[in-house]
Structure 1
Amino acid sequence: MEPLWNSDEPPEEVKIGPLGWLLALLRGLPLALLVFGGLLVLLCVRLIERPLCGVRRPVTPFITQFVCRNAFRILCMGFSTSGELMRQHGAVVANHSSWLDIFALNARKRIYFVSKAEVASWPGIGWLARATGTVFIERNPKKAREQTALFEERLKAGHKLLFFPEGTSTDGLRVLPFKTTLFAAFFTPELRDFMYVQPVTVVFHPPEGQSNRFYGWWGDMEFGPHLLKTLAARRQGRVELIYHEPVRVAGFDSRKALAAYCEAAVRHAHELARP
């Protein structure tokens, strides 16, 4: 089990007034309809897509992207991006601050997350993850070859796999050191010669007058109160995605060198863009 990151300062207490509860209701109901309605449509389309296309998903990722883009409209939250999307086969690596990262990264690019196996059993989130094509991995050396074969199959099918190399989420004020073990699979003979990696920096800008940690989700913070706080905000902030130049895995001598390069790119842009 990965250790959770914790701040020396506890998170701010969630306080929601009458107007906040009204906003949470007005935003929460349409958001729930969008997410679960989109999930229902996706599952119906997948019934046809899977037998015809197998591992390839030519249609359903557009449904996920539609849902995630419109989630920010319902939240009244700003969304902006810069940089070019990677066209080569490969993976995306990004810093991790909040469950909102999933909506943001899916809104711009059709991607498939790589997650620890236990997430598949989480109520709600696990169902959504499985339906949208998340790749679940076990930190078990005995499964390494099997998981590499799965990565190869998905990557050669044109899927962009997304990893969070920090291994946990933070308060959004920092970028944690990237875990080099997550890059090891990229250097196998099956993947190294054709694979690219694109670093992406995710920056949350808080609502006016709120803490810079407003959107951060870390430690033992519960999902429900954090979601309610986000829905109830009178004014919303925005999220910014910065796409960096993709790099060829074969251009690096080791996983540590590749991890260091990606971390430096993400960290530098985060420091420049953060409030």
Structure 2
Amino acid sequence: MLRGLVMVVVFASGLVVHALARLIERPLAGARRPVSGRVVQAVCRAVLAVLGLRLRVHGQPMPGAGALVANHGSWLDILALHAVTPVTFVSKAEVAGWPGIGVLARVTGTLFIRRDRREARAQATLFAARLEAGQRLLFFPEGTSSDGLQVLPFKPALFEALLAPALRARLCLQPVSLSYHAPDGADRRFYGWWGDMGFGPHALQVLAQRPQGQVTLRFHPPLAVADQTDRKALAATAEAAVRAGICRADT
């Protein structure tokens, strides 16, 4: 499959360039990623272009460091979000060991953590260090992926770390809605990846599709974390914004 071979070449080339960039960046910039982040962005844009999946964006990613939250409907989310803006994904630790998707997550610099409220203090320290380095953190509060047509309830546990005194007063949180539009004649859930679906078979199905559909990203106005009373309120406010964006995409 020519398209698949081209994507492998793009990924492999990107890995080499990314590794070289980090080799130079690390002693000069530490945790900052002024070059490697842009390399990941360029590779993800190239992969989407080779795949033929159209990318549409509404709104603007907030400038500077901060946190973003989005609904999670597909492994393609990682490519789509990285293609628009350099981010550092925050993911549950077990994802690192998943076949295929785990490799993709590690290569793009994902931060793996345990989703446990009891570790909120340690996570806040870790998040603060990344934010000080100018990184934008992005996590999927649903805790799992869906069929791409719905937004699952946001789990508030991870929001606890964002309310830590070291972060709360200066941190903004930007909700992002991802909507997939299936190719003409295909199941509306075509791009959805959920439940016990295998990564390999689904990726091959997407690769073989011609023509492709579209993914739409809607960046909402950032929320001042200091304005929220607690983690549940912050999670609910972010979830409402993401849901509203999905509804607008369906109309």
| TM bracket (short chain) | over 0.9
Q: CA separation of 1:28/1:84 partners in 2, compared to 1, >3 Å: closer, same or farther?
A: same
Cα pair 1:92 1:163 within 8 Å, conserved: yes
Name the % identity.
55
State the AA in 2 paired with 1:260.
A
Q: Which of these two proteins has the greater Rg computed from alpha carbons?
A: 1
Which of 254, 260, 275 aligns to 2:230? It is 254
Alpha-carbon displacement from aligned partner over 1:167-188 (angstroms, at most 9, x marks no partner)? 1111111111111112110111
Q: Which runs of 5+ in 1 are unaligned?
A: 1-24
How far 1:136 moved relative to its partner? 0.9
Q: CA deviation at 1:145?
A: 2.8
Q: How does 1:131-146 map to 2 (within 5 A)?
A: 131-140=107-116, 143-146=119-122
Residue 46 of structure 1: aligned partner: 22
> In structure 2, which of residues 163, 169, 172 is the aligned counterpart of residue 196 of structure 1?
172
- Normalised by the size of structure 2, how large is the TM-score? 0.95
> Whose RCO is larger (CA < 8 A, sep 6+)?
1
1:40 CA displacement? 1.5
Which of 48, 55, 60 is residue 79 of structure 1 equivalent to?
A: 55
CA distance in 1, matches of 2:47, 2:115: 32
Q: Work out whether residues 72 and 145 of structure 2, in 8 Å CA contact, stay in contact via their aligned partners in 1.
A: yes
Question: What value does the CA root-mean-square deviation take over the aligned residues?
Answer: 1.4
The count of residues paired between Structure 1 and Structure 2 equals 251
Matched residue of 2:166: which SS?
Answer: coil
TM-score by length of 1: 0.87
The alpha carbon displacement at 1:142 in A equals 5.7
1:20-52 CA-to-partner distances (Å, cap 9, x unmatched) read: xxxxx1210111111121011101221111111
- 1:42/1:63 contact within 8 Å kept: yes
2:199 aligns with one of 223, 234, 240: 223
Deviations 1:149-203 (A, max 9, x none): 1100001211100010111111111111111112110111111011000000000
- Give distance in 2, aligned partners of 1:247 and 1:70: 31
Deviations 1:49-75 (A, max 9, x none): 111111111100010000111111101
Q: In the alignment, what sits opposite 1:117? A: 93
Q: Take 2:140 and 2:197, find their aligned partners in 1: how far apart are those partners?
A: 19
Name structure 2 gaps, 5 residues minimum.
Answer: none
